[in-house]
Amino acid sequence: MRTYDFSPLYRSFVGFDRMANLIDAASQSSATNQAYPPYNVVRVDEDSYKIEMAVAGFDNDDIEIESHENVLSIIARREGSADNDGVEYLHRGIAERGFERRFQLADHVIVKNAELRNGLLTISLKRELPEALKPRKIAVHYGNLIEAKPSGKSKAA
């Protein structure tokens, strides 16, 4: 496994410590990251994303989705096990085992909705910046700026 030194990020970017930590953590955990279930991350437009996850064999009641502190967690558990249905499988290629998958979301990204259709779980995400963070135009006035001065009047005792 190749390791990378992200210390230049800490020296060059002021205030981006969290991003550098996320990159560092992602590079260290990518080797241990599970491949199940398979998923896609789709950029729909500038502020909209979708996560598509193949969850064959799971029902709506088997899947729990939670968003907390910029972490999206998808947890699936099977209540009834297919092992107990008395069927003899000659080949079992559909993995119906439970899983837990976490996604780190950027600031101001919220979950809009989730849909399960034909074994594909689709989670729609949207970045919604607060008004205070949106770009705004500042009017430039021609002429001299007049500074407000204190009145300077004080009562003599």
Among the residue ranges 10-14, 36-40, 117-121, the one predicted with the least confidence is 10-14
Residue 151 lies in a domain: no
Q: How is residue 150 written in tokens?
A: 């204190």
Same domain, 20 and 75: no
**Mean pLDDT along residues 61-74:** 92
Same domain, 40 and 64: yes
Give me the number of domains the chain comprises: 2
Among the residue ranges 2-6, 93-97, 111-115, the one predicted with the least confidence is 2-6
**Mean pLDDT along residues 17-24:** 61
Which residue range forms the structural domain that includes residue 3?
Answer: 1-33
Same domain, 89 and 118: yes
Same domain, 9 and 24: yes
Same domain, 12 and 77: no
Distances (CA, A) of 153 to 67, 94, 106, 149, 150: 58, 85, 53, 11, 8
pLDDT at residue 100 is higher than 80 = yes
Same domain, 82 and 110: yes
Are 55 and 120 contacting, i.e. CB atoms less than 8 angstroms apart? yes
**Mean pLDDT along residues 51-55:** 94
Same domain, 53 and 28: no
**Mean pLDDT along residues 24-42:** 70
CA distance 53 to 62: 14
Residue 139 lies in a domain: no
Whole-number pLDDT of residue 32: 46
CATH of the domain at 96: 2.60.40.790
pLDDT at residue 75 is higher than 60 = yes
Confidence of residue 134 (pLDDT cuts 50, 70, 90): confident
Whole-number pLDDT of residue 143: 73
Whole-number pLDDT of residue 111: 94
Upper half-sphere CA count for residue 109 (Cβ side, 13 Å):
19
Same domain, 26 and 50: no
Residue 71 lies in a domain: yes
CA distance 122 to 97: 19
Q: How is residue 145 written in tokens?
A: 């700026």
The residue type of 97 is R
Residue 138 lies in a domain: no
Same domain, 22 and 48: no
Same domain, 24 and 73: no
The residue type of 139 is A
Same domain, 29 and 58: no
pLDDT at residue 147 is higher than 70 = no
pLDDT at residue 114 is higher than 90 = yes
Q: What angle do CA 19, 21, 24 make, to 5 degrees?
A: 110
Pairwise pLDDT comparison (130 vs 124), residue with the higher score = 124
Residue 153 lies in a domain: no
Same domain, 101 and 49: yes
Confidence of residue 136 (pLDDT cuts 50, 70, 90): confident
pTM score above 0.75: no
